[in-house]
């Protein structure tokens, strides 16, 4: 969560730079994830994969974009779902995959792991890139990016469009039927070293088979807009702070030719994060407020969070400890924690041990389903009012060593 750690990673972490991403030849963010051995993708109905880490469910993986959770307020199971298709691949600077409990630093949903995405912010001069790719099944991908400026001020524009007729995985009478995907996103970012403002507009149209595999011209039409603003302030050599405000609006129409109009949702996330260095230790202190709303039916849930994390090297032992206090408008109060240590041996081997508690709260759609009345009663649309937050415990023990030819590690 911080860009200035004072110890090495204790949790299992994979890091990919822009050049690593380009080397895979991926057309989309999902294409890239499919190249990561420890991340499993499974295609549910609608051609939007679930993402699995360490055997956890897809809703147990938390996606974070520039420090802000991407979990959809309109998700039925709490997974990111169609939000995965809105991430412009050519705007990504770095991807970090942190396995295990991450709720202390990242919040609800970080049970099996966190996939943290950092987008490009600055610009070095004026430059532009155009990429065009063609493939089978009438697949076409267009990507355009342009940027200009310096650290004193910059502007960046990117547009991505991916289309394919899709493939048919059925047998029998429907062998000529395919399910197409049309995905496009546009993002504009402006700012400097202190202030960053970005606007993202995305739309995904995905054809899918109806229940029982029937071809009923089912179409999911998902729309998303996101506005993010952040302010970075360095108060001294020992204290710097970041305030971020993000608001996401989304909706999904579905059914035959997307004729069934879905509800509209809005998520507002305000986070203040501080890095404080004290005696060669790093203290991270943050507060956040998250509001999730169904703006069609006027339903709302809010979460207030206070979290703290401390890390320090003590005589060749790296120590990391943290806790988060959650106050939820519906589910009450909860405290989670994490504790980890790493020992550096003279032989060059690093031993690690960590233990953490993670949690996940139900979404509005978890509780109310995809179809509920204005008075909030459930009419059988997949919701469950009796749901409660989930809690998990994650313990990891491992060893790793670096060699000229690479790194070897084993984890339990």
Give residue-wise pLDDT tens across range 209-254: 776 666 667 888 989 899 999 999 999 999 999 999 999 998 888 8
Q: Report the alpha-carbon distance of residue 363 to residue 76 in Å, rounded.
A: 7
Q: Where are the beta strands (DSSP E) in 211-259?
A: 218-234, 239-253
Note whether 83 and 30 are within 8 A (CB). Answer: no
> Among 7-21, 262-276, 369-383, which is the least confidently predicted range?
369-383
Phi and psi at residue 137, to the nearest 5°:
60, 35
pLDDT score of 269: 93
At residue 315, the pLDDT reads 87
Give CA–CA dist 65/83, Å, rounded. Answer: 11
**pLDDT at residue 325 is higher than 50:** yes
3-state DSSP call for residue 82? Answer: helix
pLDDT at residue 45, rounded to an integer: 45
Q: Give me the pLDDT at residue 91, please.
A: 81
| Pairwise CA distance, residues 155 & 160, whole Å | 17
| Per-residue model confidence as pLDDT tens digits over 13-43 | 899 998 999 899 887 788 888 888 888 887 6
Strand partners, 344: 350
pTM over 0.85: yes
DSSP reduced 3-state for 31: helix
Render pLDDT for 103-162 as a digit per residue (tens, 0 to 9). 999 988 888 889 999 888 766 788 888 989 899 989 898 889 898 988 789 999 989 898
Q: Which of 345, 271, 358, 361 is nearest to 78 (CA)?
A: 361
The predicted pLDDT at position 75 comes to: 65
Do 359 and 326 meet the contact criterion of CB atoms below 8 Å apart?
A: yes
Lowest mean pLDDT among 53-62, 78-87, 187-196, 307-316: 78-87
pLDDT tens column, 145-185: 898 988 789 999 989 898 988 877 666 665 567 788 888 88
Coil, helix or strand at residue 33: helix
Beta strand 50-53 with 39-42: parallel, antiparallel or unpaired? Answer: antiparallel
In the block, residue with structure tokens 């001294």: 236
From the number of C-beta atoms within 10 Å of its C-beta (0-12, 13-18, 19+), residue 170 rates as middle
- Provide the pairing of β-strand 139-150 with 153-164: antiparallel
Query: Which phi and psi angles does 23 have, rounded to 5°?
Result: -65, -20
CB of 101 within 8 A of CB of 110? yes
Long-range contacts, 367-370 (Cβ 8 Å, 24+): 368/294, 368/297, 368/299, 369/76, 370/76, 370/262, 370/263
Secondary structure of residue 136 in the 3-state scheme: coil
**pLDDT above 50 (res 287):** yes
For the chain, what percent of residues have pLDDT higher than 70? 88
As a whole number, the mean pLDDT across the chain is: 85
Q: How far apart are CA 80 and CA 62, in angstroms?
A: 8
Whats the size of the chain, residue-wise? 412
pLDDT band with cut points at 50, 70 and 90 for residue 348: confident
pLDDT at 30: 81
330: left (phi over 0), alpha (psi -120 to 50) or beta: alpha
Judge residue 390's burial from the number of C-beta atoms within 10 Å of its C-beta, 0-12 exposed, 13-18 middle, 19 or more buried: middle
Q: Is the pLDDT of residue 50 over 90?
A: no
| Torsion angle of the four alpha carbons 110, 111, 112, 117, in this order, in degrees rounded to the nearest 10 | 0
User: Measured between alpha carbons, how far is 359 from 108 in angstroms, rounded to an integer?
Assistant: 6
Residue 67 half-sphere exposure, CB side, CA atoms within 13 Å?
21
Q: For residue 246, report the phi and psi dihedrals to the nearest 5 degrees.
A: -135, 135
Phi, then psi, of 173 in degrees rounded to 5: -75, -15
pLDDT of amino acid 2: 82
Look up tokens 């030819």; give the residue. Answer: 405
């Amino acid at each position: 969560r911080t860009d200035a750690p004072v110890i090495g990673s204790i949790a299992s972490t994979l890091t990919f730079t822009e050049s690593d991403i380009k080397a895979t030849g991926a057309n989309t963010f999902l294409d890239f994830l499919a190249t990561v051995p420890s991340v499993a993708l499974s295609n549910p109905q609608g051609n939007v994969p679930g993402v699995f880490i360490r055997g956890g469910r897809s809703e147990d993986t938390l996606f974070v974009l520039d420090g802000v959770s991407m979990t959809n307020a309109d998700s039925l199971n709490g997974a990111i779902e169609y939000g995965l298709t809105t991430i412009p691949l050519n705007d990504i600077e770095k991807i970090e995959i942190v396995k295990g409990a991450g709720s202390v630093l990242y919040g609800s949903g970080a049970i099996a792991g966190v996939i943290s995405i950092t987008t490009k912010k600055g610009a070095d001069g004026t430059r532009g890139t155009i990429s065009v790719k063609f493939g089978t099944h009438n697949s076409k991908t267009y990507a355009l990016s342009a940027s200009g400026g310096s650290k004193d001020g910059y502007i960046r524009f990117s547009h991505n469009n991916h289309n394919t007729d899709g493939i048919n995985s059925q047998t029998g009478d429907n062998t000529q039927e395919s399910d197409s995907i049309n995905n496009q996103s546009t993002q504009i970012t402006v700012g400097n070293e202190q202030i960053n403002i970005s606007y993202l507009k995305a739309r995904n149209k995905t054809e899918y088979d109806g229940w029982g595999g029937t071809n009923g011209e089912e179409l999911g039409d998902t729309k998303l807009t996101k506005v993010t603003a952040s302010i970075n302030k360095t108060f001294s050599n020992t204290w710097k702070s970041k305030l971020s405000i993000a608001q996401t609006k989304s909706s999904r129409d579905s059914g035959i030719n997307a004729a069934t109009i879905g509800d509209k949702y809005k998520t507002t996330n305000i986070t203040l994060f501080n890095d404080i260095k004290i005696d060669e230790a790093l203290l991270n202190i943050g507060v956040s407020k998250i509001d999730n709303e169904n703006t069609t039916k006027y339903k709302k849930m809010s979460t207030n969070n206070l979290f703290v994390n401390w890390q320090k090297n003590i005589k060749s032992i790296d120590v990391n400890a943290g806790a988060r206090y959650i106050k939820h408008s519906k589910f009450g109060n909860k405290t989670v924690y994490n504790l980890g240590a790493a020992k550096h041996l003279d032989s060059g081997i690093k031993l690690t041990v960590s233990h953490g508690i993670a949690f996940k709260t139900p979404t509005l759609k978890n509780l109310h389903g995809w179809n509920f009345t204005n008075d909030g009663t459930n009419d059988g649309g997949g919701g469950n009012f009796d749901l409660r937050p989930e809690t998990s415990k994650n313990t990891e023990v491992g060893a790793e060593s670096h060699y000229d030819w690479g790194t070897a590690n084993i984890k339990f």
